[in-house]
Chain A
Amino acid sequence: MTILECKNLTKEYLSGENVVKAVDDVTISFEQGEFCAITGPSGSGKSTFLHVLSSLENPTSGEVRYGEKPLLSYNDNQLSILRRRRFGFVFQAYNLVQELTGYENILLPIMLDNKKPDEEYLNKVIDILGIEDRLHHLPSALSGGQQQRIAIARALANRPSILFADEPTGNLDGKSGREVLSLLKYVSKQLGVTLILVTHDLHVAEQAERILTIEDGKIVKDTKNGVI
């Protein structure tokens, strides 16, 4: 079942006097529960594509649909609610709120939604991520890997439909990177979450069920289970 799709999606930037097409007329859809890696060389537009897909940025033209509804039809408030309920984000720089502890960071989307946390589910996520003993610390007291695990837990806290990850292993060493990736893969499978991951690392991309290769803002290759 298609959960997210985009049609003729274009995103342009002004670089000095030149217009740069970071995403160029892309039409594609994502199935529920699939693990899709977006890859490509630096500056190819993969991160921008992810940002536009996830509503972090507005497209210049074209549309993104979540379910049946185009994201453009959401107002600012509705988009906020959509992000806190249906989407999860993992960034390369972790982006934790520095004044909140690990656990409070995890609870953020739930608390923003004025809901009671599902302790059992959260414990399960925390358990899978192996961060029980770091929950009471402020982010400044955590290592990069630990911060990224907290960020993943936060992204999953509200049982999102889609998990967007932008170079989640980019700031981590090889071992931590591999661990984080396995966790992402495992968690998304366990929880049935669609995982859309941007990476320039082919080893990381190879672990996805589907690999989209972007060059100059266009999808040049769409490989599913090794089949183009």
Chain B
Amino acid sequence: MKKKLTITNLALGNLKQRKKQYTTLIIGIVLAMFFSSSVLFFVSCLISSNEEHNKRTVGDFYGYFYSPEEFLDAEKGKEDGYIEQFGYAHIVGYAYTDEENQDKGTPIAWLDEDAKELYHLYFTEGKYPEKTGEIAIEKDAIIRLGFEPALGEKITLSVLTPDGYDYLPDAEEKTYTITGILSDKRKNIERTRGVDGVAPMAAAFVCEKEEIPVGGKENLALYFNPTEESMKETIDVVFQGFEDKISPYDKYFRKEIYAKIEKVTGISIEYRNNDFMEGISTSNYERNESVFNSSFLTITLTAVLMLASCIGIVNAFTTNLQERRKQIGLLRAVGTTRRQIINIFGREAFIITLITAPVCVFASYFGVKLFATLMGDAFIFLPNIYVLLGSTAVSVICVMLAAIIPLISASRTSPMQAIRNIELSRKMTRRKIRQQKNFKVPSLLAKRSLKFYKAKQVGVSIILTLTIILTCFGFSLLKAEFQNSEWYSYNTSDYVVRRSGYPDSSGYVNMPEIDKGITLNEVQAVNDYPVFKSVYGYKECMSYIICDEYSEYMNLLQYTWNNTRYQETSVPSRTIITDDLTSEELFDIWFDGESEYYKKIKQNSGTEQEMFQLDILAYDPEIIENNINKFEVIDGKIDIEKLNSGEEIVLMAYEDIGFTCDFGKDGYLSTYGVWELTKENLEKLGNEGRKIYATATLDYNVGDKINLRTLYSYNTEYNWEEYEIPENITAVDKEVTVGAIIKAIRISDNLDFYSDMGIFTTVSGMYALTNHEHGYEKLCIDIKGENDDETDKDATDYLTTVFSGSYFKPISGYAVDKESRSMAQILLIAMLSVVILLFSICASIVNNSLTAKIRESKKEIGTLRAVGASTKELTESYIRQLISMFVWGGSFGFAGYIVAHFAIKIYTKGQSELPFEIWQSAVLFVLLLGICSLNLYFSVKKQMKHSIVENIREL
């Protein structure tokens, strides 16, 4: 039975007959589909990686309440539509190893199914306990307890019995077998708190059969997610009843949290009775960034490749249809409409797309999967059916959009084309040419060809230009990635121990019993460890300048976070703050008299005079000596001896300052701050159209005397009820001389200190000024000799043990650089693959363009051969065309890169660290030219294998 003549059958017939001519088109379609679906898969990978990252580091919940039954009925919250999901941690004990290190312990809990889902237990090894006596525990918690994180290990712990809210005083010994090791989460969420030896969040989990000793009652902790629609409202509701307790800090914290919830997903809020904080650590955020950066880079490159493939499709399909202009002309001559032409020939592309779609989408799926696997644990690729269908749809749409351009052009073919090539004739009559009387045949033929087929040449040149620019930037980025040591560009020391959290402590009075900083014992422990060569750092404490009246300068600084004196009014709106306000009017609007805290601090410290709060920053003397040239001294001289004795201090302050603020679209204040009034800053503020509302000049000079008062409370507990100002305050008064005034401290190892006003001295100087031995705020540690894997593990483990349970965490430069190097290596492989692919696409477009021309010009080749042209002359004519395209593409490409490179340098005022990398692309460019030339030579040779008559006859 004969097949019915339908458009699909016609297209299928064409495809079968012209398999060879379709090869390039099919390759183009396959590549475009592969890359377009990859883009979507990469986006999906980026989203799921971020989600998973957040889940792994801080869980899948927004809120955490300890002992919530007192104030929250979660079930009712869910019924009322405020809470979407909740689950309970049933705390069955608090585990620690010895009395002295009780605060390094962890609550032990079993999680109900919802809580497991919300806490998102992530096992690096093992599984959840199934029997009593088994335990799964977070890695950090095991180390803090002083054990090795190993599966099957038996650990004996002292366990306090819960009483429904807190714990009973007596502990009993219990032995557990470790069945699972979990990724760290608690330390990220709560930054390791220790109040009365009770850490609120469980980092160790047992099965629900685990029994509580007689007399005990489980403590509950709630993990929950508010409904999305009512998130803000929910937070209001769940905090109902605690408004009074948190009201003094509510405005600040709530504002911060709202802003974060609105902007960032995956931030957990911990609310434990009257303690309030958000739980995501800086290190997690940085890691998240690296996932984002590499995914973003890959998505960009894939999108470029997709674009290149689409251009490839346009090129291949144009060539394909060009060769069939006569057939199209014939169809037009027998009455086929333009729409039908698009339909018939578009159906061919559509059929190829449909046939190849599953293969391409699955290939890209596995490609991205492989990428995610190679990039490591941080990359998660879990596409759902929608992503899969979306990728297929996007890739098909991409291909069809690319194919429509040549189709529309082909549909315009005149019926006359069936008889003779009138398109060429038209082109030729439109172009003016200058007749040559003496010429080199290959040169003239190339010149004319380029003239008559300019569009094709421009297309190929654009592709080359883009390829070169992208490749140059790719290599430049790569070199920058390899060149820069992420760690040592900011640090000189091998390890840094820095603060990871703050205990609840007064913001007005130093409370050394609560916030001990890095203690001398800890410093000594580091010093004693044989791996380390030197340890140094800085200390910090709060102090006050006592004066009869605030100067203009001091008043201006109250607009910033330094404000201790005045009560801020509600956030001023645009309608209130206008450009014509005077400094005094602004002050009256902004502040509403002295705050209660300020009054109380004066009262409790027994003074009638005014107090201006500022920080004292104290460095180890060797840091000062080693970096003496890095201080931006405005006046005076830094005399270490006088600093050591406490006779002198160095004042850190800007000479002239100004206050400016601006507003968001909603009319509310968005940013405000005090600026140093340098020429550059004034220019910048002027350019941004920001008004300086008030200015002030520093009224301290070198030689001036300052009365310093440092306040201490020796309370071991911090009480919010006292409005943050403890009753029993000890004041240490000192009169000091301003020995020097400096702008800011810019030393490496992240020891830079930027403050609007502060006091700078040595560690000994701080002791002399305060009569107190403060703990260090940051430590920098150098090791003996070169670092390696073994030494680093040894050093990191040791430092982790020393600082476990404290508010400080060690960071290894070696580990940071190792991670960035491994990332760079992966990027190198990815980059090289992309470059090779990009050049291959480019080569295929260039070759397709010229070999198609050779195929089209069979008759011309035959004619030229008949009149005596040899292979040499014919090849030369095509090579000349190729070189012309490369010269244009190369010139624009390299010039474009050079211009872009220097434009970036100028735009970033020389801050851009991208190196100038051109030779790799130049080598690839020459290689590409060589390959294309060879391909051309063989294409011409192939035509020469036929007899002249066959050349002439074939068309």
Are A97 and B435 interface neighbours, CB within 8 A?
Answer: no
| Interface flags, B919-955, vs A, CB<8A=1, else 0 | 0000000000000000000000000100111001000
Q: Most chain-A CB neighbours within 10 Å: which of B448, B866, B867, B869?
A: B867
Are A107 and B428 interface neighbours, CB within 8 A?
Answer: no
B609-617, B773-781, B855-863 - the one binding chain A? B855-863
Are A112 and B433 interface neighbours, CB within 8 A?
Answer: no
Is A109 an interface position by the 8 A CB rule?
A: yes
Is B384 an interface position by the 8 A CB rule?
A: no
Closest residue of B by beta carbon distance from A111: B441
Is A39 an interface position by the 8 A CB rule?
A: no
Q: Most chain-A CB neighbours within 10 Å: which of B424, B865, B868, B947?
A: B868
| Interface positions of A from 75 to 93, Cβ below 8 Å from B | 76-77, 80-85, 89, 91, 93
Is A222 an interface position by the 8 A CB rule?
A: no
Residues of B within 8 A of A107 (CB): 437, 439
> CA of A89 to CA of B864 in the docked complex: distance in angstroms?
11
> CA of A95 to CA of B444 in the docked complex: distance in angstroms?
18
| Interface positions of B from 414 to 443, Cβ below 8 Å from A | 421, 424-425, 428-429, 433, 435-441
Q: Contacting B444 at CB < 8 Å: which of A51, A93, A100?
A: A100
Is A101 an interface position by the 8 A CB rule?
A: yes
> CA of A151 to CA of B862 in the docked complex: distance in angstroms?
14
Known: A98-B428, A104-B439, A140-B428. A113 touches B864 (CB 8 A): no
Residues of B within 8 A of A138 (CB): 428-429, 433
Is B871 an interface position by the 8 A CB rule?
A: yes
For residue B719, give the distance in angstroms from its CB to the closest CB of chain A.
Answer: 94
Residues of B within 8 A of A108 (CB): 441, 864, 867-869
> CA of A34 to CA of B438 in the docked complex: distance in angstroms?
33
Closest residue of A by beta carbon distance from B431: A138
Q: Contacting B868 at CB < 8 Å: which of A57, A80, A93?
A: A80
Is B902 an interface position by the 8 A CB rule?
A: no
Residues of A within 8 A of B424 (CB): 98, 140
Q: Most chain-A CB neighbours within 10 Å: which of B860, B862, B872?
A: B860
> CA of A81 to CA of B870 in the docked complex: distance in angstroms?
8
Closest residue of A by beta carbon distance from B860: A97
Are A109 and B436 interface neighbours, CB within 8 A?
Answer: no
Is B449 an interface position by the 8 A CB rule?
A: yes
For residue A134, give the distance in angstroms from its CB to the closest CB of chain B.
Answer: 12
Known: A100-B444, A107-B439, A112-B441. A76 touches B944 (CB 8 A): yes
> CA of A51 to CA of B951 in the docked complex: distance in angstroms?
13
Q: How large is the interface on A (under 10, 10 to 19, 20 to 34, 35 or more residues)?
A: 35 or more
Is A103 an interface position by the 8 A CB rule?
A: yes
Are B949 and A89 interface neighbours, CB within 8 A?
Answer: no
> CA of A91 to CA of B428 in the docked complex: distance in angstroms?
23
> CA of A24 to CA of B608 in the docked complex: distance in angstroms?
130
Is B445 an interface position by the 8 A CB rule?
A: yes
Is A154 an interface position by the 8 A CB rule?
A: yes
Closest residue of A by beta carbon distance from B426: A140
> CA of A189 to CA of B863 in the docked complex: distance in angstroms?
25
For residue B770, give the distance in angstroms from its CB to the closest CB of chain A.
Answer: 92
> CA of A140 to CA of B433 in the docked complex: distance in angstroms?
13
Residues of B within 8 A of A98 (CB): 421, 424, 428, 860
Is B366 an interface position by the 8 A CB rule?
A: no
Is B522 an interface position by the 8 A CB rule?
A: no
Are A58 and B436 interface neighbours, CB within 8 A?
Answer: no
> CA of A76 to CA of B947 in the docked complex: distance in angstroms?
11
Are B864 and A104 interface neighbours, CB within 8 A?
Answer: no
Is B242 an interface position by the 8 A CB rule?
A: no
Residues of A within 8 A of B117 (CB): none
Q: Most chain-B CB neighbours within 10 Å: which of A57, A104, A116, A136?
A: A104
Could you give 29 example pairs across A and B, Cβ below 8 Å?
Answer: A51-B948, A77-B870, A77-B871, A80-B869, A81-B868, A83-B866, A83-B868, A84-B868, A84-B869, A85-B868, A97-B864, A99-B451, A100-B445, A108-B441, A108-B868, A109-B868, A111-B438, A111-B439, A111-B441, A112-B441, A112-B868, A112-B869, A113-B868, A135-B435, A138-B428, A140-B425, A140-B428, A140-B429, A141-B425
On B, residues with C-beta under 8 Å from A are 421, 424-425, 428-429, 433, 435-441, 444-445, 448-449, 451-452, 859-860, 862-873, 944, 947-949, 952
Could you list 12 further interchain pairs (A-B, Cβ under 8 angstroms) beyond the known A104-B436, A140-B424? A76-B944, A80-B868, A84-B868, A97-B864, A98-B424, A104-B439, A109-B867, A111-B438, A112-B441, A117-B437, A141-B425, A141-B428
On A, residues with C-beta under 8 Å from B are 51, 56-58, 76-77, 80-85, 89, 91, 93, 95-101, 103-104, 107-109, 111-113, 116-117, 135-136, 138, 140-141, 154
Q: Which 6 A-B pairs have the closest CB atoms?
A: A84-B868, A140-B425, A99-B448, A80-B870, A95-B863, A83-B868
